[in-house]
Amino acid sequence: MFKKILPAIIFFSVYACNSWAQETDKGFTVIPLGVKGGDDESNLSSYMIAPKGSDKYVCLDAGTINAGIQKAIDLKSLKGISEEIQRRQIKGYLISHGHLDHLAGLIINSPADTAKNIYGLPSVLNILRDKYFTWDAWANFANEGEKPQLKKYTYFPLLEGNTYPLEGTDMNVKAFELSHGNPYKSTAFLIGHNDSYALYLGDTGADEIEKSDKLAKLWQNIAPLITAGQLKAIFLEVSFPNEQPDKLLFGHLKPKLFFNELSKLEALTNEKAFKKVSFIITHVKPPQKTAEIVKRQLISGKPKDLKLIFPEQGKCLTIN
């Protein structure tokens, strides 16, 4: 369990992307295209990730694409034209669940995109196939579903616990099912490159609220990677402040539940290794006043030496 609660210093790892040109052995480059979990369509959940030194990314969710890339260009995190970066540098999409704030950017920008894979649990891909890439809702740019199928995107089903290569990159992925307002599902993606890993969780509720064991099983699976010093970062959502009633969490976390889950994970590892992991806070809900409360509660409740990162749209992160 966490040993002591002290006032916090937030640990940021934000640098210019081109500083990693010669560093390809360990870690990842992350470019947040969207960080919010709510009503700003220009800044919704989406993170480009690649091995350090590579420009071959995949997207972890795809709520915002074009606007996020343009923000990254403005901040000199990326160079080029937004549409061309999407076409050439994003090699595929990992979609955690079927809510629009996690895939609207993929759908809207699909006409200008190039052929690539969409990865997800079969249940998630079925939502894309049956609800979104249909000729009533949008053109069917995928290889399954309503005809005519334009076959720009290929659905790539991930069976839970199996490891798959991410086409066009040097990374691989393993998927784990999450509970997001039981019985609704979401996904955690374990991204690997050589001996380095990053874990991205889509929207998730706490096991105690969800009446589930999904997070407990996930922590059991990743704890050995933390102990070995191989898991570099965990993307984990905190959507609401502590004042939000449990019955109104709708399959999300608040700071108290966030720290409870991390306590369970730490108990499966050792303190020294655990403190080397960076925790990237995702999906904080608007309005800005609420987001500020969530941030304050996370900072004030943070155990000593725990690394919390609050990503900003378009600003590069290093994961070492």
Cα dist. 283→37, 38, 295, 297 in Å? 4, 8, 12, 15
Q: pLDDT tier at 229 (50, 70, 90 boundaries)?
A: very high
Q: CA-CA distance, 85 to 234, in Å (whole number)?
A: 25
Which of the two residues, 60 and 7, has the higher pLDDT score? Answer: 60
CATH number of the domain to which 63 belongs: 3.60.15.10
Residue 260 is assigned to a structural domain of this protein: yes
Asked if residues 158 and 175 have their Cβ atoms less than 8 Å apart, the reply is: yes
What is the number of structural domains in the chain? 1
Asked if residues 43 and 36 have their Cβ atoms less than 8 Å apart, the reply is: yes
Residue 10 is assigned to a structural domain of this protein: no
Residue 177 is assigned to a structural domain of this protein: yes
Which region among 14-23, 160-169, 250-259, 291-300 has the lowest average model confidence (pLDDT)? 14-23
pLDDT digits (tens, 9 = 90+) for 231-253: 999 999 999 999 999 999 999 99
Give percent above pLDDT 90 in the chain: 89
**Residue 54 burial class via C-beta count within 10 angstroms: exposed 0-12, middle 13-18, buried 19 and up:** middle
Q: Which residues contact 168 (CB under 8 A, 6 or more apart)?
A: 56, 91, 92, 116
Residue 3 is assigned to a structural domain of this protein: no
Is a pLDDT exceeding 70 seen at residue 122?
Answer: yes
Domain limits at 40? 17-319
Residue 106 is assigned to a structural domain of this protein: yes
Averaged pLDDT for residues 277-281: 98
Full strand arrangement of the beta sheet holding 57-60: 153-157, 116-120, 90-94, 57-60, 46-51, 28-34, 317-319
Give percent above pLDDT 70 in the chain: 92
Residue 2 is assigned to a structural domain of this protein: no
**Helices in the chain by DSSP H: which ranges?**
66-74, 82-89, 104-108, 122-127, 207-210, 214-227, 255-266, 271-274, 288-300
Averaged pLDDT for residues 201-216: 98
Q: What pLDDT is stored for residue 39 in this prediction?
A: 80
Q: CA-CA distance, 94 to 121, in Å (whole number)?
A: 9
Residue 73 is assigned to a structural domain of this protein: yes
Separation of CA 236 from chain center: 8
Residue 101 is assigned to a structural domain of this protein: yes
Is a pLDDT exceeding 50 seen at residue 1?
Answer: no
Phi-psi region of 161 (alpha: psi -120 to 50; beta: other; left: phi over 0): left
